[in-house]
């Protein structure tokens, strides 16, 4: 039995039920793939013993009862999810040694359905970054390569995208505040879905910007995203923003029939300085959906240009408030104090030592935009612009548009160390196509659709109506089939 780690969830589910493989075999294949992939630095806390115990239990369950779809499926979990008694550091030094006494709602739900945890995955510190370069664990590396350079797997869910692309797990969990699932998926030729805000509980996930954060699946194909989303979603009384509505069978929505669907192409997403290849890919995606029977219309989202600046007020503001809890008192790192240091010195030294440069920058920007005298000019203005961005989408959907097609990223994966060194804003521009979706609370999915001339994967994004992930996944599934993307990175690690 070789290469079991390369299976999709759907294929493994079938084989488990046919008795062709066991969860232990699947899990062992992934654990051995993980052990030989240290060069990718994707898995930062390995949990092999726990994984095998969970797999054994799943095998028993598969024999004795009508087991859920995820039963026996080995998954990688982003370090942002709190997992009981397993290090959960959010990629930060300030949470060094933190072992939660509780389990996040999403992972609890997955383990209850029999899924297997392989370990925790690398990420940008507190999910702040687009290249996985702000992590305390060091860079995660993209399994895709075209020359001597190591490329970024994207961020912040860079460990998740690298792990899925390199077949270290069958699928992974990511989180997305401004593009952190979709951009890494596009950089690695994998599928990443950010669900509608409120679809998935945020309880037990380390908070970055609470009005934007949403967890979602990162998978090898669209069907797996549908399967995993169903297992993650649902109302949770512990998250007051989680939506109390039924979770449909998203997989059943994958009919492959999109005849009569209307797909909008927003003219404002045609921006200067974007490589021709991205524009060509977008046109190609349009043709693919047209060939499948969809009607394509031009639409306008006039406030698109202001999404990134609004995001870089709102997200840091919420982060400065959420990250106030890291004070060296209740958990995580506390600085060594000098004689005579009081509690203020303890806070200041602890946070200076514990946070990396990008996190400090955002916490301080957030502090500034919320401070007396600037709250109206920055924070309230950004929230007003956010309302206009959401209204843009509402109006497009009211015209009968079912989904919106855009590029996922402004480029293919770039080299580690090549971006944002002098100007943090350069890195922020990575999220230009994805961040609107978080501000408007909508579901968005990145689907691998082509390759650039060097052979690196490129993705397109589809944006759906709120809580219509089934419909969105069906359109994504159709795009995936039309594109026929099957390329895999050549193993070098």
Partner 1 sequence: MSIDKDTAARIAKLARIRVEEGELDALAGEFNTILGFIEQLGEVDVEGVEPMVSVTPQRLKRRDDVVTDGDQQAKILANAPDAREGFFAVPKVVE
CA distance 430 to 438: 14
CB of 266 to partner 1, least distance (A): 18
**Whole-Å CA distances, 3 to 30, 170, 349, 351:** 9, 11, 48, 44
Would you say 98 or 493 has its CB closer to partner 1? 98
CB of 460 to partner 1, least distance (A): 24
For 446, the 3-state DSSP assignment is: strand
Query: CA end-to-end span of the chain, whole Å?
Result: 22
Task: Determine contact, residues 231/110, Cβ cutoff 8 Å.
Answer: yes
CA distance 197 to 420: 29
Name residue 405's beta-bridge partners. 462
- DSSP letter for each residue of 114-171: T-EEEEEE--SGGG--SSS-S-TT-----S--SSSSPBP--SSSHHHHHHHHTTSSSE
CB of 87 to partner 1, least distance (A): 11
Three-state SS letters, 369-380: HHCCCCHHHHHH
**Whole-Å CA distances, 395 to 294, 391, 464:** 20, 6, 13
Give the torsion sign (CA, 232, 237, 238, 240). positive
Per-residue binder mask for partner 1 (CB under 8 A), 456-475, x = binder? ----------x---------
Q: Which stretch binds partner 1 (CB under 8 A): 31-39, 55-63, 181-189, 423-431?
A: 423-431
Task: Determine contact, residues 456/109, Cβ cutoff 8 Å.
Answer: no
Active-site residue, 422 included: no
Scored b (16 or more CB within 10 A) or e, 250-268 reads bbebbeeebeebbbbbbeb
Where in 284-303 is the site for partner 1 (CB under 8 A)? 303
Out of 11, 45, 150, 241, the only residue in the binding site for partner 1 (CB under 8 A) is 241
Out of 48, 410, 415, 424, the only residue in the binding site for partner 1 (CB under 8 A) is 424
Chain centroid to CA 324? 24
Q: Name the active-site residue from 130, 161, 180, 411.
A: 180
Out of 313, 405, 435, 476, the only residue in the binding site for partner 1 (CB under 8 A) is 313
Out of 121, 258, 363, 416, the only residue in the binding site for partner 1 (CB under 8 A) is 363
DSSP-derived letter for residue 88 is -
CB of 383 to partner 1, least distance (A): 3
CB of 381 to partner 1, least distance (A): 5
Q: Which stretch binds partner 1 (CB under 8 A): 18-26, 54-62, 358-366, 482-490?
A: 358-366
Query: Interface with partner 1 includes 349 (CB under 8 A)?
Result: yes
Would you say 146 or 388 has its CB closer to partner 1? 388
CA distance 436 to 125: 22
Would you say 14 or 345 has its CB closer to partner 1? 345
Query: Interface with partner 1 includes 99 (CB under 8 A)?
Result: yes
Would you say 99 or 488 has its CB closer to partner 1? 99
Active-site residue, 15 included: no
Where in 381-400 is the site for partner 1 (CB under 8 A)? 381-388, 390
Q: Which stretch binds partner 1 (CB under 8 A): 141-149, 269-277, 281-289, 439-447?
A: 439-447
- Tell me the two tokens of residue 226: 């549908």
CB of 442 to partner 1, least distance (A): 9
| Helix then strand then coil, % of the chain, to nearest 5 | 40, 15, 45
Q: Which stretch binds partner 1 (CB under 8 A): 57-65, 224-232, 279-287, 329-337?
A: 329-337
Task: Determine contact, residues 265/284, Cβ cutoff 8 Å.
Answer: no
How many residues make contact with partner 1 (CB under 8 A)?
74
Query: Interface with partner 1 includes 240 (CB under 8 A)?
Result: yes
Active-site residue, 156 included: yes
Q: Name the active-site residue from 15, 23, 78, 92.
A: 78
Task: Determine contact, residues 74/175, Cβ cutoff 8 Å.
Answer: no
Query: Interface with partner 1 includes 77 (CB under 8 A)?
Result: no
Q: Name the active-site residue from 92, 113, 131, 156.
A: 156
Query: Interface with partner 1 includes 93 (CB under 8 A)?
Result: no
Per-residue binder mask for partner 1 (CB under 8 A), 118-157, x = binder? ----------------------------------------
Task: Determine contact, residues 175/205, Cβ cutoff 8 Å.
Answer: yes
Tell me the CB-side half-sphere exposure of residue 126, using CA atoms within 13 A. Answer: 28
Where in 180-239 is the site for partner 1 (CB under 8 A)? 196-198, 211, 237
Examine residue 156 and say whether the peptide bond preceding it is cis (omega within 30 degrees of 0): yes
CB of 7 to partner 1, least distance (A): 36
Q: Which stretch binds partner 1 (CB under 8 A): 70-78, 114-122, 398-406, 418-426?
A: 418-426
Nearest to 199 by CA among 221, 216, 222, 183: 216
Query: Interface with partner 1 includes 367 (CB under 8 A)?
Result: yes
The residues annotated with a catalytic role in the active site are 78, 156, 180
């Amino acid at each position: 039995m070789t290469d079991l780690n390369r299976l999709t969830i759907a294929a493994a589910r079938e084989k488990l039920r046919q008795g062709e493989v066991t969860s232990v075999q699947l899990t062992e294949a992934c654990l051995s793939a993980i052990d030989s992939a240290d060069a990718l630095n994707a898995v930062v806390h390995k949990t092999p013993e726990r994984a095998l115990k969970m797999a054994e239990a799943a095998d028993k369950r598969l024999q004795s009862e009508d087991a859920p779809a995820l039963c026996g499926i080995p998954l990688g979990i982003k370090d942002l999810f709190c997992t009981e008694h397993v290090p959960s550091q959010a990629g930060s030094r300030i949470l060094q040694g933190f072992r939660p006494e509780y389990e996040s709602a999403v992972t609890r739900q997955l383990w209850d359905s029999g899924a297997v945890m392989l370990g925790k995955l690398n990420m940008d510190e507190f999910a702040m970054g687009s290249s996985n370069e702000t992590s305390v664990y060091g860079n995660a590396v993209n399994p895709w390569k075209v020359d001597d350079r190591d490329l970024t797997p994207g961020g912040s869910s860079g460990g998740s995208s690298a792990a899925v692309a390199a077949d270290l797990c069958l699928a992974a969990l990511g989180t997305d505040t401004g593009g952190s699932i979709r951009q890494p998926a596009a950089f690695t030729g994998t599928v990443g879905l950010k669900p509608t805000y409120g679809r998935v509980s945020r309880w037990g996930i380390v908070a970055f910007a609470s009005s934007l954060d949403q967890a979602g699946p990162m998978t090898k194909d669209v069907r797996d995203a549908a399967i995993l989303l169903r297992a993650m979603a649902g109302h949770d009384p512990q998250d007051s923003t989680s939506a109390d509505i039924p979770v449909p069978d998203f997989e059943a929505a994958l009919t492959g029939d999109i005849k009569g669907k209307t797909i909008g192409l927003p003219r404002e997403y045609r921006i200067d300085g974007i490589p021709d290849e991205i524009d060509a890919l977008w046109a190609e995606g349009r043709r693919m959906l047209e060939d499948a029977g969809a009607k394509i219309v031009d639409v306008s989202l006039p406030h698109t240009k202001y999404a990134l600046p609004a995001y870089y007020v709102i997200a840091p503001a919420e982060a400065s408030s959420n990250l106030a809890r890291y004070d060296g008192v209740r958990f995580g790192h506390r600085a060594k104090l000098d004689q005579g240091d009081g509690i203020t010195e303890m806070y200041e030294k602890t946070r200076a030592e514990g946070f990396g440069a990008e996190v400090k920058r955002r916490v301080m920007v957030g502090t500034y935009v919320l401070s007396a005298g600037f709250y109206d000019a920055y924070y309230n203005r950004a929230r007003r612009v956010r309302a206009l961005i959401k209204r843009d989408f509402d109006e497009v959907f009211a015209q009968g548009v079912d989904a919106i097609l855009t590029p996922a990223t402004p480029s293919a994966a770039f080299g580690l160390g090549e971006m944002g060194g002098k100007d943090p804003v350069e890195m922020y521009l990575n999220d230009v196509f994805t961040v609107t979706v978080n501000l408007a609370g909508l579901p968005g999915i990145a689907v691998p659709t082509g390759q650039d001339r060097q052979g690196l994967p490129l993705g397109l994004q589809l944006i759906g109506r709120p809580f219509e992930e089934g419909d969105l996944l069906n359109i994504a599934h159709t795009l995936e089939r039309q594109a026929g993307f099957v390329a895999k990175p050549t193993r070098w690690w």
